[in-house]
Structure 1
Amino acid sequence: MAKTQKLNELKAAQLQPVLPSGGLDFALTDELDGDPGWLGQERAADTIRMGALTGYEDFNVFVLGQPGSGRRALAQSILAGIAKDRPVACDWVYVNNFEVSHKPLAIRLPAGSACRLRKMMETLVDDLANQIPALFESEDYQTRRRTIEEDFSAAHESEIAEVFDDARTAGVAIMRTPVGFSFAGLRGDKVLTQEQFDALGEEERAELEAVIDRIQQRMSEVLQAVPKREKEHRRQVEQLHYELASRGVDEAIREVQEGFAGEAAVMRYLEAVRRDLIENAELFLIGEGEEEAGPFPVPTSKHFELSQFQRYRVNVMVANGSSSAGAPVVKEELPTMANLIGRIEYASEMGTLITNFTMIKPGALHRANGGYLVLDVRQVLSEPLAWDALKRCLRTGEIPIYSPGERLSLISTVSLEPDPVPLSVRVVLIGERLHYYERLHYYLLSALDPDFLQLFKLEADFDDDLRLQEGAPAGGYAKMIAGLARRAGARAMDRAAVERMLLESLRMAGDAERLTLNFSRLSDLLREAEFWADSGSSAHIGAAHIETAVAEKERRAGRVRELGLETIQQGTVLIDTDGARIGQINALTVLQIGDYSFGRPSRLTARTRSGTGKLVDIEREAELGGPIHSKGILILQGYLAATYATSAPLSLWASLVFEQSYGEVEGDSASAAELIALVSSLAEVPLDQSFAITGSVNQFGDIQAIGGVNQKIEGFFDVCADRGLTGRQGVLIPAANVRHLNLRQRVVDAVAQERFHICPMSSVSDGIAVLTGLEAGVRGPDGAFAEGSLNRLVEDRLQSFAEIRKSFAKEASGNAT
């Protein structure tokens, strides 16, 4: 093999980003004061602020961002800042509907009034529990009741007496019996017997019978008038009770009416309460456990606790104290349907489920009414019927309360139909991305739910990172890091520690020019550094503590990585780091375990022979290759056909496989390695195994950027370092990925000592030159590749395949003839 040709290698200084010095003029972070604000999230913050301030009800906000970006904290902070200057939300109560008891009434009240109304109603009932019995025990009541009773008795007895006197004068005796009155003749003071009556003359007997009939008729008329007189008697008693009850109720309820004189709905309710209290004043004369009131009142205490007085309760749904600062900001962590719109509870009584308006419980929408509600969209979508209930409330502008059983018609228990509460709320949904470029929740809902874009018109898209060169982000970022340390309760950091944090932030972002805005990961790193600083009794956090925290984190998560290195070192997994092989190349992959990713080399091999132009991807054939990987293989096929099969069919059969790979393969970052392995097999030119390669290739042979470049380089470096660096080993990477380099110091030191090499490549020709020692070659004026170039060898081999195919076809045709 010809001597290896190398591209312009990267210097050690190019392997880590250079931090700007501006804004980092401090010794300790204690010197940094001021708030950098929501660094890098101005666009999202402005969107949330617009949603909070606009008066249009359907301008709800959907917040997009990666976990740890602070999107929840930012949303709540902005909402809280705006809410404190907005009017305090009103109170809401449910009260009994005295006309239709299963439809409780919802009443809006000024802030701070709900609890006052409830207390005043409790006081009203307790006062009446004392006042009404006292009124019915008063001398005035006793006198008037006695007068009514005496008048009734006197009138009745007077008429009876008149009948008796008339009878006596007419010579008729009236006698009381268990079954009524009996009549007989009277002579003197003696009642005629039947024999004496029969002994009378016929004329005298007829006259006596006529008199008895007249007296009997008159007595019948008197007795028939008794029910009417009793009805009048009851009316008078009821009128007396009504007058006394009215006097007591009017006196007791006057204070409540005066306290809510300006509230029309409350005044209507109090009037209904007044009428019901007067009509049911006898309830206050029934002691607990008694069934009915006697003629005299029975005093009780705490009547409001008895079931017969629950109809006068006030069920407070929302109580925003008059001293509350602004509109409510509510965050519901468990957005079930009941927790959003409220619920109706039931109690078991004698084996039957019962309920009443006092068992209506509020939901998050009630508490947030007049303010803001923050929800996690994933949690809402995972709760049955919760998303549908939320949309219905936002669409109709009111909060109906119903149960899932009613919604699905699964139960037939008698329930309540509470008045729906008018709704005025701004909902902020927090969503996540499941992929760097994929805003899954937002776009799935946009595509599948026709109501979504009508209800959530604002999209607050959080950035994942911040450009290092824009404005003065380094100083602001340093302030942000200082703020994270203070919030974590960590000690101050020196300048070197902040610079080390900036480097780690760039690595987290995967770009040497962009700082991560994942505050959660940065905060975790700071707290780990605080632990190591505390363990060493250091007065402040230094760069060494940050470095230790990074190393320990990798050590904790590195068991699988270390096992992989061990299998390679033992020869269980075959990876060559020296020598040369035809059709064999070291490709680089990245494995993700939790939030830890690491690189690992994988042997990729290619075999070729004469065929019909078929390129076999063994991974795809075994159903282990993903769609992006399959796409990369098809791109290779297009490159081969366009580059080498310009004058003859592509008479090739080739197979590609990742050796000793038993899991799913996805991505196109190995397509450059696959292409070079193929051309090596075709040209029968060995590839230098001292190098590994990563990069995506297009149909023109250009090398495109890939992800995880730092982890891939470090993964191959660790394999080489375990075996001993020879000074020839290195990695080929896309030139477009140079700006993403932020390698660990062990790799940087090895490159500085020229014991390891990192070479950028812009085209597949660059990689071919390094790995084969041959120029790839370009077509000359005659349309042929230069003699001795790799492309010439490949094309000649493919031409021979075409000749073999052609001769085989002729032979097959001759045999057929």
Structure 2
Amino acid sequence: MEQIRELSYGELKNGCFPEEFSFKTTAELTPLDGIIGQDRAVKAFDFGLKVKIKGYNIYMAGPAGTGKTTLAKSSAHRQAAGEPVPKDWCYVYNFQNPRSPLALYFEAGMGRQFRDDMAELVQLLKVELQKAFRTDDYEKQKNELLRSFEEKRDALMEEMSKAAQEHDFQVKTANSGIYFMPVVEGKTIGEEEYDELPEEVKNTIEKNSQIVQEKAGAIMRDIRELEKESKRCVDNLDYKVGMFAIGDHVSAVQEKYKEYDKVIAYLNAVREDVLENIDQFFDDEEDSEEGLASLLPMLSKKQPEDVTLKYKVNLIVDHSDTKGAPVVTTFNPTYYNLVGEVEYDSEFGNLTTDFMKIKSGLFHKANGGYLIVQAQDILSAPQAWEALRRVIKTKEINMDAVREQLGAVVAPTLKPEPIPANIKVIMIGSSYYYELLSEYDEEFDKFFKIKADFDYEMPRDSENMQKLAEFIKGFVEREQVPDFDVSAVCAVVEYASRKAERQNKLTTRFNHLAEILGEAAAWAQMEDAQVVTAAHIRKTIYEKEQRLRLYEEKLDEMLEENVIMIDVTGREIGQINGLAVLDLGSYAFGNPSRITATTYIGKSGIVNIEKEARMSGQTHDKGVQIITGYLGQTYAQKFPLSLSCRVCFEQNYNGIDGDSASSTELYCILSSLAELPIRQDLAVTGSVNQKGEIQAIGGVTYKIEGFFDLCKKRGLTGKQGVIIPVSNIRDLVLKDEVVEAVKDGMFHIYPISTIDEGIRLLMETEAGEKDAQGNFPPESVHGRVWQKLKEFHKRAEGAEE
């Protein structure tokens, strides 16, 4: 029987040795500038940064800890440093529509100047107006106007009085107005006396009263027109005096901001409003109100209204101290953090607001630059994704209140004028979120035209190993810890290969490596070591595993006490040792399990007990179907299968998925049919196809170590080992303990490429090949299986007859 190849200890791990580096400690190195092993992603990201066309936002996809956020920040800051500083933005009062504050923009730094200039202007206007309207000249002009009005009014009143006398009436004035009293024989008549007058006299009085009322009405209309004219004259005087007092000051500010047409128009509106409301600049002392406030203390809490509020400037974006374009990173992208908010005050249960309570959001701060956001964060916050896509789509920041949209508050609302947006959004997340957004938002691909894909692994070559050493140096400087010697760097390289589960690859999950570096440095400092060595790295890995292996220890205890029944010696028919991996997120380990198969006459085919118990995943179910295909292809060319078979992962109560045990299950079935025992000192992993070829599986390192640990606890016999797919050889990054056991001949690892090779190892019998007539040798495994299935078919036919 042909010997199956066994792996040598040198093939079980790709060691890293000090001779591969030119330094002794990281003190000789300079820190890494950039990111390792992500050339494709970096190229795509840099291109996305430089394209300024709408829709060329960037999605950085890949596993956590690969340096996406670090690259985004460093590259965005580097790109932004050479770009212009964006504009300042202010909100000001809208005199035409107070509920819609106006947005004004300025060159960087001028927004603060404008705010201060307006505050200074308002104080200056107040002083100048009070000065102008307290001059003797103004009082003289105003008094002349009022005196002229009084003279004309008196003349009209005199005319009214004469008209009344001519018709025997006397004019009386009161708070309620003017009325006429009849005069009879030189005596004013009251109501009681009027009732006693003869009818003819009453008739005469009625006629004269009508005439007097008509003349009085005409005169009163003239008086009202005269009052209006007098007010217009006084207003014109006030306007001219006010304009004379403030016109030059407003013009001076307009001259300073003459390049901003919208600012000029706003200042014109300010000037007109000031001149139309001059009285608001004069202090009125109302003792009665102060007395009322003293009687009702609650009223005294209300702040006096600021008449100059509407002339203030709400500077919401100030780039006075900004260098280049802004780069804003957020990990809390709620709707209001992004868009901004209009705040409210509560006065005696009533909500009030004004344009000065408009608060900027991250969109405002990042406008003209870059916004870095995590996909998971923005998808977790209500309305946040909608806010982001609206800004990208409309290219403007619109502060529509979400409370109003949802009807959550009844209060006066503001509709601030939208601000044009020019923001490059950099979203960081897993490929899962990218696919999720692509599927559920039909415009997502239009919004994020650049995808920078980060790989979870990189080639293990001399260049990347050197960069990894420089990464360690950067960690040393950043965290102020001892330097690492070359042996420690080698240990980190080997650990990076183990995390990548490939001999020729290194993981790019630098957050995992940073954890090891930090803990190793801590162990070194506890020992007062001058440098971190490989021993510290190994201790760190060991201690970290010890902290996480509680569940593994519980399983080990049950295996040792034979609560979970697994044999590592002897031979059994229809029983085999399978291998699985339990991944707890931060820790994974191999878990051996017993697989059994029973076969008998029937038509049900292969029954997966896990599936029947609803404990099997889709991939595992597929593996069972592939076994059915293999059996049909191999044995059912001359007669149909009359087989019932039940396959089970014994003592499995958590469910199972994956097809890595499909070859294992097939060996178990063949053993039951051929009635040949399987070696229990060998464990098997590997996927099989319908042609009987063994395919690669995942987690091969953990699976081998899981069975090795069990064998070591039970006692190594020198014959135990694991059968793996030949295509998984490059994935082996085994612990030194396993490598030494293989080196000493106490443990064996067999790579195979076909089911027939596995049969020879497990059953120590030739698998058998078909002859020209399509028959297997009778004593071969396939021959025994074929003969058993043929008997099943005959008996099944006989039972049917």
TM-score, normalising length from structure 2? 0.90
The question of whether the paired residues in 1 share the 8 Å contact of 2:16 and 2:491 is answered with no
- Measured after TM superposition, the shift of residue 174 of structure 1 is 8.7
The residue identity in structure 2 corresponding to 1:514 is K
Q: Counterpart of 2:503 in 1: which secondary structure?
A: coil
- Measured after TM superposition, the shift of residue 423 of structure 1 is 1.4
Q: Give the distance between the partners of 1:712 and 1:793, measured in 2 at CA.
A: 31
Deviates more, 1:607-616 or 1:384-393: 384-393
Choose from 641, 647, 668 the match for 2:659. 668
Q: Counterpart of 1:137 in 2: which secondary structure?
A: coil
Q: Give the distance between the partners of 1:758 and 1:45, measured in 2 at CA.
A: 40
Matched, 1:113 2:105: no
Matched, 1:313 2:305: no
Choose from 743, 753, 758 the match for 1:767. 758
Q: Give the distance between the partners of 1:166 and 1:69, measured in 2 at CA.
A: 102
Q: Per-residue CA shift, 1:452-507, capped at 9, x if unaligned?
A: 111111111011111113x7222222212222333233210000000000000000
Q: 2:526: which partner in 1?
A: 535
Q: Counterpart of 1:506 in 2: which secondary structure?
A: helix
Q: 1:464: which partner in 2?
A: 456
Q: Give the distance between the partners of 2:703 and 2:170, measured in 1 at CA.
A: 125
Distance 1:254 1:809, change over 3 A: same
Q: Per-residue CA shift, 1:661-694, capped at 9, x if unaligned?
A: 0011001111111010110111111111111111
Q: Give the distance between the partners of 2:108 and 2:188, measured in 1 at CA.
A: 88
Q: Counterpart of 2:466 in 1: which secondary structure?
A: helix
Q: Per-residue CA shift, 1:628-647, capped at 9, x if unaligned?
A: 00000000111111111221
Q: 2:87: which partner in 1?
A: 90
The question of whether the paired residues in 2 share the 8 Å contact of 1:249 and 1:277 is answered with no
Q: Give the distance between the partners of 1:165 and 1:656, measured in 2 at CA.
A: 127
Distance 1:22 1:84, change over 3 A: farther
Q: 1:381: which partner in 2?
A: 379
Q: 1:636: which partner in 2?
A: 627
- Measured after TM superposition, the shift of residue 92 of structure 1 is 1.4
Matched, 1:334 2:326: no
Distance 1:410 1:215, change over 3 A: closer
Deviates more, 1:473-482 or 1:89-98: 473-482
Choose from 244, 248, 251 the match for 2:245. 248
- Measured after TM superposition, the shift of residue 144 of structure 1 is 2.3
The question of whether the paired residues in 1 share the 8 Å contact of 2:677 and 2:763 is answered with yes
Q: Per-residue CA shift, 1:578-625, capped at 9, x if unaligned?
A: 011101111011111131000110000011111225101000000000
Q: 1:265: which partner in 2?
A: 262
Distance 1:181 1:15, change over 3 A: same
The question of whether the paired residues in 1 share the 8 Å contact of 2:93 and 2:355 is answered with yes
- Measured after TM superposition, the shift of residue 167 of structure 1 is 13
The question of whether the paired residues in 2 share the 8 Å contact of 1:328 and 1:371 is answered with yes
Q: Counterpart of 1:108 in 2: which secondary structure?
A: strand
- Measured after TM superposition, the shift of residue 244 of structure 1 is 2.0
Q: Give the distance between the partners of 1:134 and 1:752, measured in 2 at CA.
A: 103
1:362-441 equivalent positions in 2, closer than 5 A: 362-408=360-406, 413-432=411-430, 439-441=431-433
Q: Give the distance between the partners of 2:115 and 2:188, measured in 1 at CA.
A: 76
Q: 1:449: which partner in 2?
A: 441
The question of whether the paired residues in 1 share the 8 Å contact of 2:627 and 2:662 is answered with yes
Q: Per-residue CA shift, 1:188-241, capped at 9, x if unaligned?
A: xxx9999xxxxxxxxxxxxxxxxx999999999877754343333322222222
Q: Give the distance between the partners of 2:476 and 2:625, measured in 1 at CA.
A: 50
1:163-312 equivalent positions in 2, closer than 5 A: 225-287=222-284, 306-312=305-311
The residue identity in structure 1 corresponding to 2:231 is R
Distance 1:584 1:139, change over 3 A: same
Deviates more, 1:309-318 or 1:674-683: 309-318
- Measured after TM superposition, the shift of residue 162 of structure 1 is 9.8
Q: Give the distance between the partners of 1:215 and 1:585, measured in 2 at CA.
A: 127
The residue identity in structure 2 corresponding to 1:724 is G
Q: 1:485: which partner in 2?
A: 476
Q: 1:197: which partner in 2?
A: none
Q: Give the distance between the partners of 1:448 and 1:173, measured in 2 at CA.
A: 89
The question of whether the paired residues in 2 share the 8 Å contact of 1:183 and 1:216 is answered with no
Choose from 96, 119, 122 the match for 2:119. 122
Q: Give the distance between the partners of 2:157 and 2:553, measured in 1 at CA.
A: 117
Q: Give the distance between the partners of 1:218 and 1:593, measured in 2 at CA.
A: 104
Q: Give the distance between the partners of 2:403 and 2:188, measured in 1 at CA.
A: 81
Q: Give the distance between the partners of 1:185 and 1:744, measured in 2 at CA.
A: 133
The residue identity in structure 1 corresponding to 2:624 is I
How many pairs were matched up? 766
What is the percentage of aligned positions where both structures have the same residue? 37
Q: Give the distance between the partners of 1:731 and 1:575, measured in 2 at CA.
A: 15
The residue identity in structure 2 corresponding to 1:442 is Y
Q: Counterpart of 1:384 in 2: which secondary structure?
A: coil
- Unpaired runs of at least 5, structure 1: 195-211, 293-303, 433-438, 811-817
Q: Give the distance between the partners of 1:288 and 1:757, measured in 2 at CA.
A: 102
Q: 1:648: which partner in 2?
A: 639
The residue identity in structure 2 corresponding to 1:496 is S
Give the RMSD, CA atoms, in angstroms: 3.1
The question of whether the paired residues in 1 share the 8 Å contact of 2:326 and 2:368 is answered with yes
Deviates more, 1:223-232 or 1:798-807: 223-232
Choose from 29, 44, 47 the match for 1:32. 29
Q: Counterpart of 1:308 in 2: which secondary structure?
A: coil
Q: Give the distance between the partners of 1:142 and 1:440, measured in 2 at CA.
A: 79
- Measured after TM superposition, the shift of residue 166 of structure 1 is 13
The residue identity in structure 1 corresponding to 2:105 is R
Q: 1:713: which partner in 2?
A: 704
Choose from 5, 14, 17 the match for 1:17. 14
TM-score, normalising length from structure 1? 0.88
Q: 1:544: which partner in 2?
A: 535
Q: Per-residue CA shift, 1:323-370, capped at 9, x if unaligned?
A: 421111112222222222223233333433332222222222221111
The question of whether the paired residues in 2 share the 8 Å contact of 1:45 and 1:75 is answered with no
The question of whether the paired residues in 2 share the 8 Å contact of 1:23 and 1:475 is answered with no
Q: Give the distance between the partners of 1:252 and 1:784, measured in 2 at CA.
A: 111
Q: Give the distance between the partners of 1:113 and 1:654, measured in 2 at CA.
A: 83
Choose from 612, 615, 627 the match for 1:624. 615
- Measured after TM superposition, the shift of residue 318 of structure 1 is 1.4
Q: Give the distance between the partners of 2:213 and 2:546, measured in 1 at CA.
A: 118
- Measured after TM superposition, the shift of residue 274 of structure 1 is 0.9
Distance 1:502 1:182, change over 3 A: same
Q: 1:57: which partner in 2?
A: 54
Q: 1:351: which partner in 2?
A: 349
- Measured after TM superposition, the shift of residue 305 of structure 1 is 8.5
Q: Counterpart of 1:331 in 2: which secondary structure?
A: strand
The residue identity in structure 1 corresponding to 2:531 is H
Q: Give the distance between the partners of 2:408 and 2:162, measured in 1 at CA.
A: 76
Q: Give the distance between the partners of 2:14 and 2:588, measured in 1 at CA.
A: 20
Q: Per-residue CA shift, 1:96-140, capped at 9, x if unaligned?
A: 211122222122221112222122222222222322222222222
- Unpaired runs of at least 5, structure 2: 190-208, 290-302
Q: Give the distance between the partners of 2:709 and 2:779, measured in 1 at CA.
A: 36
Matched, 1:497 2:488: yes
Q: Counterpart of 2:308 in 1: which secondary structure?
A: helix
- Measured after TM superposition, the shift of residue 412 of structure 1 is 6.0
- Measured after TM superposition, the shift of residue 259 of structure 1 is 2.3
The question of whether the paired residues in 2 share the 8 Å contact of 1:683 and 1:797 is answered with yes
The question of whether the paired residues in 1 share the 8 Å contact of 2:458 and 2:505 is answered with yes
Q: 1:508: which partner in 2?
A: 499
Deviates more, 1:246-255 or 1:57-66: 246-255
Q: Give the distance between the partners of 2:392 and 2:588, measured in 1 at CA.
A: 43
Q: Give the distance between the partners of 2:162 and 2:726, measured in 1 at CA.
A: 134
- Measured after TM superposition, the shift of residue 185 of structure 1 is 12
Q: 2:206: which partner in 1?
A: none
Distance 1:235 1:792, change over 3 A: same
Deviates more, 1:8-17 or 1:349-358: 349-358
Deviates more, 1:781-790 or 1:98-107: 781-790
Distance 1:124 1:726, change over 3 A: same
